[in-house]
Amino acid sequence: MQSAITHHASHHKVAQGLVSPGTIPLPAMAGSAISCRNLGVRFFTERRSVTALQGLDLDVAEGEFLTLLGPSGCGKSTLLRVVADLINPSKGSINVLGAAPEAARLRRDIGFVFQDAALLPWRTALQNVELPLEVAGGAKRAGKSTPRELLELVGLSGWENSYPHELSGGMRQRVSIARALVSGPRILLMDEPFGALDEITRDRLNEELRRVWKETGITILFVTHSIYEAAFLGQRVLMLAANPGRVKEIVPVNLAEDRTLDVRETTDFVALAAHLRRVLEAC
């Protein structure tokens, strides 16, 4: 019994980022949305092989907001693609919602948002959001919210019948978030979704994304190159280093849960951003 308690406590510490990951090789944590153990991904091309990820140990709790920060080529997109079952790991194990990533994909439990909204230009905002439900065919599953409700959730009510060319970049990205949520996924993967937007639009979407996260209770993995975005959005920041792609540090974010953008002027936030910058510079 004693050992069981210790066991659980150790896990908890890993999840909170209190101890460095990789020191306690344990089975997948119960109740976690994503568990990686000694995860490795290697790519072989004609000329060379690349270790995109190596020895990655990670537990993401259900409902957690985790941001990923690291230099170009450190494996951020690769990690998201492994979770989404778009590529297979070369080593180690990954568990998504209690099973292999394929099961989560087939249940449509994973939503993906990319840097480019990639909407179909001949379909309205509403029709773009409806698209995954149509494509799913036999596996069709409606989420908890209707496409119309999801457009409202991302602040686009009144724009249902507009075409992508009539929307701003920020609005198009909102549509792509609504589309990613339409099958009612439990995990939302976002790969630099606001990277191409101006700063004011990006700020606004950051605040709204935290609101959407709270309202849906969804688990989010969010890749960014912005220290401020990573610190503002996340409950923890996963920092990766490159060549080989590996965990550099997992930084807990100790800011108020109901934060607004003003939090960026607090000393806590400034200290956190400075720390993230120092780690990033050493990557």
Ligand X SMILES: Nc1ncnc2c1ncn2[C@@H]1O[C@H](COP(=O)(O)OP(=O)(O)OP(=O)(O)O)[C@@H](O)[C@H]1O
> Where along the sequence are the contacts to ligand X (CB under 6 A)?
43, 45, 50, 52, 70, 72-78, 245
Nearest to Mg ion by Cβ — which residue? 77
In terms of CB distance, is 54 or 206 closer to ligand X? 54
Burial level of 168, CB count in 10 A (0-12/13-18/19+)?
exposed
Q: Decide: is 77 part of the binding site for Mg ion (CB under 5 A).
A: yes
Site map (CB under 5 A) of Mg ion, residues 119-138, x = contact: --------------------
Contacts with Mg ion by CB under 5 A: the residue count is 1
225's tokens: 């190159």
Q: Residues 181, 145: contact at Cβ < 8 Å?
A: yes
32 makes contact, choosing from ligand X, Mg ion, none, with CB < 5 to 8 Å by partner type, with none
Nearest CB to Mg ion, comparing residues 101 and 193: 193
Q: Is 206 in the site for Mg ion (CB under 5 A)?
A: no
Q: What is the DSSP secondary structure assignment for residue 28, as one 8-state letter?
A: P
Specify the stretch interacting with Mg ion by CB under 5 A; choose among 74-82, 152-160, 212-220, 255-263: 74-82
The H-assigned helical ranges of 55-198 are 76-83, 101-106, 125-135, 147-153, 169-181
If the CB atoms of residues 143 and 245 are measured against ligand X, the closer one turns out to be: 245
Identity of the residue, 77 or 176, whose beta carbon is nearer to Mg ion in the bound complex = 77
Stretch that binds Mg ion, among 47-55, 72-80, 148-156, 271-279 (CB under 5 A): 72-80
For residue 44, CA distances in Å to 38, 118, 265 come to 19, 29, 45
Between CA 189 and CA 76, with CA 71 as vertex, the angle to 5 degrees is 25
Query: What is the enclosing helix (H) or strand (E) of 34?
Result: strand 32-44
Question: What CA–CA distance (Å, rounded) separates 2 from 142?
Answer: 45
Q: How far is the CB of 133 from ligand X (least distance, A)?
A: 29
Identity of the residue, 3 or 72, whose beta carbon is nearer to ligand X in the bound complex: 72
In this complex, which beta carbon is closest to ligand X, that of residue 50 or of residue 136?
A: 50
Residue 72 binding target from ligand X, Mg ion, none, CB below 5 to 8 Å by type: ligand X
What sign has the CA pseudo-torsion 214, 185, 221, 98? positive
Q: Are 42 and 251 in contact (CB under 8 A)?
A: no
* Nearest C-alpha neighbor of 250 from the set 7, 56, 29, 5: 56
Please answer whether residues 185 and 110 qualify as being in contact, where contact means their C-beta atoms are separated by less than 8 angstroms: yes
Selection from Mg ion, ligand X, none that 111 binds (CB < 5 to 8 A by kind) is none
Name the minimum Å distance from CB 62 to ligand X.
24
> Of 70 and 193, which has the nearer Cβ to ligand X?
70
Q: How far is the CB of 131 from ligand X (least distance, A)?
A: 26
Q: Which residues bind Mg ion (CB under 5 A)?
A: 77
